[in-house]
């Protein structure tokens, strides 16, 4: 057993007690080992995320080489079994490594607080710093704070238990240990002094206070606040016996889950003019943003707080109700208040309470006009912070930036945020655009506007907006900066970095609804592009609903996840819930359609089809995709496409309907019908038609006679893609400028299928030399290059050409394009893994097919056939039968019997 000590004392020893200096003397190797051992939640880590964290300055090739070297030396020094792998892309530490920090966490989780405090001998990797790896250093800083806080909480719980048992000596000892871990926290100091006073150890109380006062003067040139000085003076002059000051036995201690550094800001009670009613909820956002700027304090996520309060509660929240909600959310402090308006004057009153109900501070502030409101709010925030902490916290409060100085911007921002919560992305965009127009420096509004634009499939606008927000990130508190950084990485396609950031945020802010939702959203959309199921996102969305049961976005995604997992009853329940909560939401109609076509309720289907005839084109496209992938009813998807075809007027929209019908037909094994629909598309729009025919002809599992293959190749060669006019239709605009690359890609694949490898090389050369080399063009080039290499040199070398999976394409583009969905590349990767004998990895890639885009459906039945074959080889007849049944169901209307797949070319 290898022993790694990281808390206070840094040490690494083998089973014989010998120090392993080869690791201790290399900071990056030690950092990598510590991260693999400690990062929460404990799991396998993808190599991609490790590259971004430890070697951000290197290109991929050199970063991978550096990681391999580090792993080699770690395994050499520790033993090969200590670093475990899963496939080629995931790493973790095995049970052969014992670490004091993980043992500490396990002890905390098992409520063994004595063991936990004994293990905590100092900060995690105390004094350790790794230059050139900002991601690791940020993670280390957060982990140090998290572990320290948990150790302090454990010590205080032991102190409370000892005091209740009447053991004042032990209580004081544990309490002093808790304060030692957070020596600058005045709230903790006050708690320690009160405990020492109650247990009669006033000498120690005065000694602790004098040391704190001296340090405060030397380091910050400040004196303790008046409230603390008054407490100490009372301790000095107290004459009653210590026992009489001890709380009676029936007194209940503070809830164990409550954290004195966590504050819940509740909606203020408002009385006054209707035009200012926004202040009731607005005060939550304003004060939360200002107070969360202080490192010593964490404010409960406003969305989680508002969801816990609910819309059905009384207009005036009672203290006992607020205490219960605060305790539920882990907050040790709560802020209640009122806003009164009369004659244009606004008066704000706020009271800060401990979770036990004791008043900590009362603040009054006012403004003569609405325009002076922000000054009044800032005064409230400073007074609240001043009552909690002097020194660094108060100075941070003075430096805290307000969200915005414009009341118009604030009002429209709050309305836009409400629309986002209801899943009305287009409406949210409208309000948030007005907010940033009213205040171009409103960083949070840009953040939410980018999210709304992403929800509306506006790729370029989302990226433009997030960059504007990023330029203003210094105006945000650390928490909001992390959220913005993660969203920026996600929108720019840096998925591994985004996943790491969201994991870090949810670890530090476990009630952050936005972070949990965006983590789930990213996993849902991008996992299939990495050979993982979109259903892995379920846990994140369920965490969202634990805090906000009516979260529309989480319910929408869980409907789709339930469909992927085959839970039809859950699909109907979630779809009905979304419709009830947000009947005008952008996703409601699509989920109505999924529920109707899943249940095959003809009356509901007719209502859906009637509504679709009046819906936005984007809504119709989303509905078609959701029904095709998640309802288990491809006939329903065909009905939607034909219903749109009846009302479509433009040739390109009619062609698109035929393309969708062609994909539905081919996904059912109806090759002849699929080809005919592709020809119909070509008659309306030559570009869409010839590209679809070329793709179908290239599918390795679709039978095609030599004459038709030759005809498609001739037509592609004679077509000049540079003459293809650009389109404004969203579903087709992703191909603007990409048609020459698509033509080369298709010509190369068809040449391989025809055995004409020379022409395939010409097509690859043309595709490789074209500029600019966008993410879409790069994907097409990789797919063709790997196909050609497979035909010439086999699967292993083709896998090397294909390289690591990439999710850099905009996720909306991967839904609406048969070429940017990466379906061909993903199916090819699965086939290459299968041919290379790497069946476990191949199963994941085959299984992730048809979870992202309706244009993946043509690969679904062949993928399930291959899974059935792998399960048969593995001796798993039950899984084999299930996979084969899925393939047979999809190809129920096939033109021919199901046939085993054969290698292409």
pLDDT at 242 over 60: no
Q: What is the DSSP secondary structure assignment for residue 263, as one 8-state letter?
A: E
> Nearest 5°: phi and psi at 392?
-55, -40
Point out the least confidently predicted range of 71-80, 612-621, 804-813.
Answer: 804-813
User: What confidence score (pLDDT) does residue 390 get?
Assistant: 46
User: What confidence score (pLDDT) does residue 506 get?
Assistant: 84
> Three-state SS for 100?
helix
User: What confidence score (pLDDT) does residue 375 get?
Assistant: 76
Query: How sure is the predictor about 314, in pLDDT bands with cuts at 50, 70 and 90?
Result: very low
Average pLDDT over residues 619-629: 85
Q: Which residues make beta-bridge pairs with 2?
A: 97
Average pLDDT over residues 844-868: 91
User: What confidence score (pLDDT) does residue 330 get?
Assistant: 85
CA geometry: angle at 490 spanning 485 and 491, to 5°? Answer: 100
Measured CA to CA, the distance from residue 226 to residue 317 in angstroms comes to: 30
> How are beta strands 45-46 and 298-299 bridged, if at all?
unpaired
Q: Quick: pLDDT tens for 399-427.
A: 333 467 676 777 788 788 778 877 788 88
Measured CA to CA, the distance from residue 572 to residue 119 in angstroms comes to: 50
Average pLDDT over residues 514-524: 89
User: What confidence score (pLDDT) does residue 313 get?
Assistant: 42
User: What confidence score (pLDDT) does residue 219 get?
Assistant: 56
Average pLDDT over residues 534-551: 89
Q: How far is CA 163 from its chain centroid?
A: 42
User: What confidence score (pLDDT) does residue 248 get?
Assistant: 34
Query: How sure is the predictor about 626, in pLDDT bands with cuts at 50, 70 and 90?
Result: confident
pLDDT at 296 over 60: no
pLDDT at 320 over 90: no
Q: Which residues contact 575 (CB under 8 A, 6 or more apart)?
A: 559, 591, 592, 594, 595
pLDDT at 181 over 80: yes
Point out the least confidently predicted range of 183-197, 232-246, 340-354, 805-819.
Answer: 232-246
Q: What percent of the chain has pLDDT over 90?
A: 29
Measured CA to CA, the distance from residue 499 to residue 490 in angstroms comes to: 8
Q: Quick: pLDDT tens for 480-497.
A: 888 899 989 888 877 778
Q: Quick: pLDDT tens for 649-681.
A: 889 999 999 999 999 999 999 999 999 999 999
Cα pseudo-dihedral 153, 158, 159, 164, rounded to 10:
130
> Three-state SS for 587?
coil
Average pLDDT over residues 578-607: 83
Point out the least confidently predicted range of 436-445, 587-596, 693-702.
Answer: 587-596
| First CA to last CA distance, the chain | 51
> Three-state SS for 515?
helix
Residue, of 474 and 471, whose pLDDT is higher: 471
**DSSP H/E element including 339:** strand 331-342
User: What confidence score (pLDDT) does residue 312 get?
Assistant: 45
The model's pTM: 0.60
Q: Which residues contact 539 (CB under 8 A, 6 or more apart)?
A: 520
Query: How sure is the predictor about 216, in pLDDT bands with cuts at 50, 70 and 90?
Result: low
Q: Quick: pLDDT tens for 10-35.
A: 889 888 888 888 888 888 999 999 99
Q: What is the DSSP secondary structure assignment for residue 849, as one 8-state letter?
A: T
Average pLDDT over residues 215-219: 63
Q: What percent of the chain has pLDDT over 70?
A: 89
Q: Quick: pLDDT tens for 357-396.
A: 888 778 888 776 666 777 777 778 767 766 665 443 333 3
User: What confidence score (pLDDT) does residue 256 get?
Assistant: 37
What is the average pLDDT value for the chain, to the nearest integer? 83
User: What confidence score (pLDDT) does residue 786 get?
Assistant: 95
SS (H, E, C) 675-720: HHHHHHHHHHCHHHHHHHHHHHHHCCCCCCCHHHHHHHHHHHHHCC
User: What confidence score (pLDDT) does residue 899 get?
Assistant: 57
SS (H, E, C) 33-50: HHHHHHCCCCCCEEHHHH
Query: How sure is the predictor about 530, in pLDDT bands with cuts at 50, 70 and 90?
Result: confident
User: What confidence score (pLDDT) does residue 814 get?
Assistant: 73
User: What confidence score (pLDDT) does residue 218 get?
Assistant: 57
Average pLDDT over residues 541-567: 88
pLDDT at 619 over 70: yes
pLDDT at 397 over 60: no
Average pLDDT over residues 166-176: 89
User: What confidence score (pLDDT) does residue 46 get?
Assistant: 87
pLDDT at 597 over 70: yes
């Amino acid at each position: 057993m290898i022993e790694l000590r990281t808390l206070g004392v840094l040490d690494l020893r083998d089973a014989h007690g010998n120090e392993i200096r080869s690791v201790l003397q290399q900071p990056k190797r030690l950092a990598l080992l510590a991260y693999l051992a400690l990062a929460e939640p404990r799991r396998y880590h993808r190599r991609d995320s490790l590259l971004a964290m430890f070697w951000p300055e290197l290109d991929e090739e050199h970063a991978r080489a550096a990681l391999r070297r580090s792993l080699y030396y770690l395994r050499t020094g520790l033993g090969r079994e200590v670093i475990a792998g899963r496939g080629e892309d995931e790493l973790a530490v095995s049970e052969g490594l014992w670490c004091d920090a993980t043992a500490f966490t396990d002890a905390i989780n098992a409520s063994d607080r004595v063991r936990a405090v004994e293990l905590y001998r100092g900060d995690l990797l105390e004094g350790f710093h790794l230059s050139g790896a900002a991601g690791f250093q940020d993670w280390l800083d957060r982990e140090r704070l998290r572990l320290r806080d948990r150790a302090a909480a454990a010590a205080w719980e032991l102190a409370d238990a000892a005091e209740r048992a009447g053991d004042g000596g032990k209580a004081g000892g544990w309490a002093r240990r808790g304060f030692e871990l957070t020596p600058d926290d005045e709230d903790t100091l006050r708690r320690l002094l009160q405990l020492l006073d109650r247990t009669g150890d006033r000498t120690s109380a005065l000694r602790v206070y004098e040391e704190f006062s001296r340090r405060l003067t030397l380091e910050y040139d400040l004196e303790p606040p008046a409230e603390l000085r008054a407490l100490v003076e009372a301790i000095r002059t107290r004459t009653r016996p210590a026992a009489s000051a001890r709380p009676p036995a029936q007194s209940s201690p503070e809830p164990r889950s409550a954290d004195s550094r966590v504050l819940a800001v509740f909606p203020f009670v408002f009385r006054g003019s209707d035009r200012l009613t926004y202040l009731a909820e607005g005060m939550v956002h304003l004060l939360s943003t200002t107070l969360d700027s202080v490192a010593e304090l964490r404010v409960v996520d406003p969305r989680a707080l508002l969801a816990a309060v609910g819309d059905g509660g009384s207009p005036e929240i009672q203290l006992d109700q607020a205490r219960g909600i605060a305790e539920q959310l882990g907050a040790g402090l709560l802020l209640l208040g009122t806003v009164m308006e009369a004659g244009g004057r606004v008066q704000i009153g706020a009271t800060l309470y401990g979770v036990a109900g004791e008043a900590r501070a009362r603040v009054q502030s006012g403004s003569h006009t609405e325009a002076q409101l922000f000054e009044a709010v800032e005064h409230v925030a400073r007074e609240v912070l001043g009552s909690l902490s002097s020194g660094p916290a108060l100075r941070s409060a003075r430096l805290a930036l307000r969200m915005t100085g414009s009341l118009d911007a604030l009002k429209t921002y709050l309305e836009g945020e409400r629309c986002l919560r209801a899943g009305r992305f287009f409406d949210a965009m409208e309000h948030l655009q007005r907010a940033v127009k009213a205040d171009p420096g409103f960083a949070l509004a840009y953040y939410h506007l980018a999210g709304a634009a992403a929800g509306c499939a506006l790729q370029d606008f989302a990226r433009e907006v997030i960059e504007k927000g990023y330029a203003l990130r210094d105006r945000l508190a650390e928490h909001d900066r992390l959220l913005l950084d993660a969203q920026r990485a996600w929108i720019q396609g840096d998925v591994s970095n985004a996943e790491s950031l969201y994991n870090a945020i949810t670890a530090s802010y476990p009630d952050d609804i936005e972070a949990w939702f965006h983590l789930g959203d990213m996993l849902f959309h991008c996992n299939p592009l990495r050979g993982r199921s979109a259903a892995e996102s379920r846990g994140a969305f369920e965490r969202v609903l634990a805090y906000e049961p009516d979260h529309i976005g989480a319910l929408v995604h869980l409907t789709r996840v339930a469909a992927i997992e085959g839970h039809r009853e859950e699909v109907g329940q979630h779809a009905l819930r979304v419709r009830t909560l947000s009947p005008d939401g952008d996703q409601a109609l699509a989920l109505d359609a999924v529920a109707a076509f899943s249940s095959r309720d003809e009356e509901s289907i007719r209502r859906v089809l009637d509504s679709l005839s009046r819906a936005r084109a984007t809504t119709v496209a989303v509905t078609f995709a959701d029904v095709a992938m998640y309802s288990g009813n491809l006939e329903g998807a065909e009905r939607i496409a034909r219903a749109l075809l009846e009302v479509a007027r433009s040739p390109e929209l009619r062609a698109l309907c035929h393309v969708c019908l062609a994909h539905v037909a081919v996904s059912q094994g109806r090759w002849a019908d699929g080809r005919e629909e592709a020809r119909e598309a070509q008659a309306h729009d030559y570009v869409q038609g010839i590209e679809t025919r070329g793709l179908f002809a290239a599918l390795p599992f679709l039978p095609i006679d030599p004459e038709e293959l030759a005809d498609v190749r001739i037509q592609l060669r004679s077509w000049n893609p540079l003459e293809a006019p650009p389109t404004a239709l969203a579903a087709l605009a992703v191909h603007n400028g990409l048609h020459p690359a698509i033509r080369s890609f298709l010509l190369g694949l068809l040449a391989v299928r025809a055995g004409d490898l020379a022409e395939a090389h010409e097509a690859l050369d043309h595709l490789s030399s074209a500029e600019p080399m966008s993410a879409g063009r790069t994907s097409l080039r990789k797919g063709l290059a790997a196909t050609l290499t497979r035909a010439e040199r086999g699967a292993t070398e083709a896998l090397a050409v294909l390289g690591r999976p990439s999710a850099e394409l905009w996720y909306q583009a991967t839904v609406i394009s048969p070429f940017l969905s990466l379906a061909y590349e993903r199916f090819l990767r699965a086939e290459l893994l299968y041919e290379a004998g790497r069946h476990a990895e191949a199963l994941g890639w085959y299984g992730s097919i048809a979870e992202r885009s309706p244009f993946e459906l043509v690969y679904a039945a062949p993928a399930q056939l291959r899974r059935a074959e792998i399960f048969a080889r593995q001796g798993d007849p039950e899984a084999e039968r299930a996979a084969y049944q899925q393939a047979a169901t999809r190809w129920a209307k096939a033109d021919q019997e199901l046939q085993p797949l054969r290698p292409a070319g």
